[in-house]
Amino acid sequence: MGSTNSTLSKIPNVEELMEETGFTPAHIVRLYDRFEALDKEKTGHLRPQDFGAINRLAMNPIGDRIIGAFFSPGQETVDFHSFVRILAHFRPADKKHPKDPSMPEPVNSRTSKLKFAFQLYDQDKDGKISRAELLQVLRSMLEMQVTEEQLESIADRTIQEADLDNDDAISFEEFRKVPLGRARRLTYQHGPLQHSAPRILSQPHRK
């Protein structure tokens, strides 16, 4: 693999991308390599099948939802920019920068991460998690030993706990209020690029 700079020059609009997502050049290079590795036919776009080829992702109970999150509605392919933008959600949040209320919410803040998780539930994108959507997610996350009635009770209970305005669905605001902070690893602080980051920065040329 060539040097960082030569790879960066292959990617159009790289500075804008870095600005928007906050990734360092080394991160971008690494993601580009991954993108190319996934894009087996070198079309420059990824299709759902390419994602599906990742075995462990296919084993994930919500794997197909995660894959779906990369594709905007109506889009069949993902190009590198969108790929990076979505992954930017998972960057560790910058704790040091003070919140500037005039600037738009940075892409990797806690709120945007929760929004991403919310969208995994909310497949029809109406801004609310309805009971049916919740049931679907529950079904995929639970093994078969659970009966329909139990699933439905769990879903009911979930909505009951979170629903504050009695519309029998969970909106994003209500979702945010769920005290997820106490549970482990919830705010993506140990984002997936965390581990590779020091390596990348110290060994950008290593392949």
Partner 1 sequence: MKLAVNFLTIGLVILSLPCGSYTEIPPKPPGSVTVLPPVKPAGGPQAFPDAENSNLPVFTMDYARIQVPFEVTLWVLLASFAKIGFHVYHKITFWVPESCLLISIGLIVGAIMHSVHEEPPAVLSYNVFFLFMLPPIVLESGYFMPTRPFFENVGTVLWFAVVGTLWNSIGIGMSLYAVCQIEAFEVQDINLQENMLFAAIISAVDPVAVLSVFEDVSVNEQLYIVVFGECLFNDAVTVVLYNMFIFVADMPVVEPVDVFLGVARFFVVGLGGMGFGVIFGFVASFTTRFTSNVREIEPLFIFMYSYLAYLVAELFSISSIMAIVTCALTMKYYVEENVSQRSCTTIRHVVKMLGTISETLIFFFLGVVTITTEHEWNWGYIMFTLLLALVWRGLGVLVLTQIINPFRTIPFNFKDQFILGYGGLRGAISFALVFTLPDSIGRKKLFVTTTICMIMFTVFIQGISIRPLIEFINVRRTNRNLETINVEIHSRLIEHTIAGVEDLCGQWSHYYWKDKFLKFNNRILRKILIRDNRAESSIVALYKKLELQNAMEILDTVSGDINAGSSIVSLQYEKKSSGKPKRKFVAADLMNMHDILSKNMYKIRQRTTAYTTKHSLPNDSRTKEILIRRHTSIRRSLRPGSFNGPVWNTRTYSTSQKYRHTYSFKGFTLFFTILYITVSPATQPHTITPPPPCFMVGTTHVEIIRSPTLRLTKHGGWNRKSQTWTHQTKGQISTGLMSIARVFWPKQVSSSYWCPLVVVSLQQFDHEGLVHTVSSEHLMLRCVR
By the rule CB under 8 A, 161 interacts with partner 1: yes
Min. distance of Cβ 48 from partner 1 in angstroms?
A: 6
Amino acid identity, residue 180? L
By the rule CB under 8 A, 57 interacts with partner 1: yes
Long-range CB pairs of 134-138 (<8 Å, 24+ gap) are: 134/158, 134/159, 134/170, 137/62, 137/65
Q: How far is CA 79 from CA 5, 136, 178, in A?
A: 20, 29, 34
Min. distance of Cβ 67 from partner 1 in angstroms?
A: 8
- Contact residues for 135 (Cβ-Cβ < 8 A; gap 6+): 151, 152, 155
Min. distance of Cβ 108 from partner 1 in angstroms?
A: 12
Task: Name which position in 104, 144, 165, 205 contacts partner 1 (CB under 8 A).
Answer: 144
By the rule CB under 8 A, 185 interacts with partner 1: yes
Give the nearer residue to partner 1 in terms of CB position, either 37 or 103.
Answer: 37
Rounded to whole angstroms, the Cα distance separating 141 from 61 reads 6
Min. distance of Cβ 153 from partner 1 in angstroms?
A: 5
Task: Name which position in 92, 115, 120, 123 contacts partner 1 (CB under 8 A).
Answer: 120
By the rule CB under 8 A, 202 interacts with partner 1: yes
Using CB under 8 A, count the residues that bind partner 1.
74
By the rule CB under 8 A, 61 interacts with partner 1: yes
Give the nearer residue to partner 1 in terms of CB position, either 59 or 103.
Answer: 59
Give the nearer residue to partner 1 in terms of CB position, either 96 or 206.
Answer: 206
Site for partner 1 in 2-41 (CB under 8 A): 30-31, 33-34, 37
By the rule CB under 8 A, 135 interacts with partner 1: no
Nearest to 178 by CA among 161, 190, 191, 165: 161
Q: How far is CA 176 from CA 113, 119, 134, 155, 172, in A?
A: 10, 13, 16, 18, 6
Within 13 Å of residue 69, how many CA atoms lie on the same side as its CB? 19
Min. distance of Cβ 61 from partner 1 in angstroms?
A: 5
By the rule CB under 8 A, 175 interacts with partner 1: yes
By the rule CB under 8 A, 205 interacts with partner 1: no
Torsion of CA 162, 91, 100, 111, to 10 degrees: -10
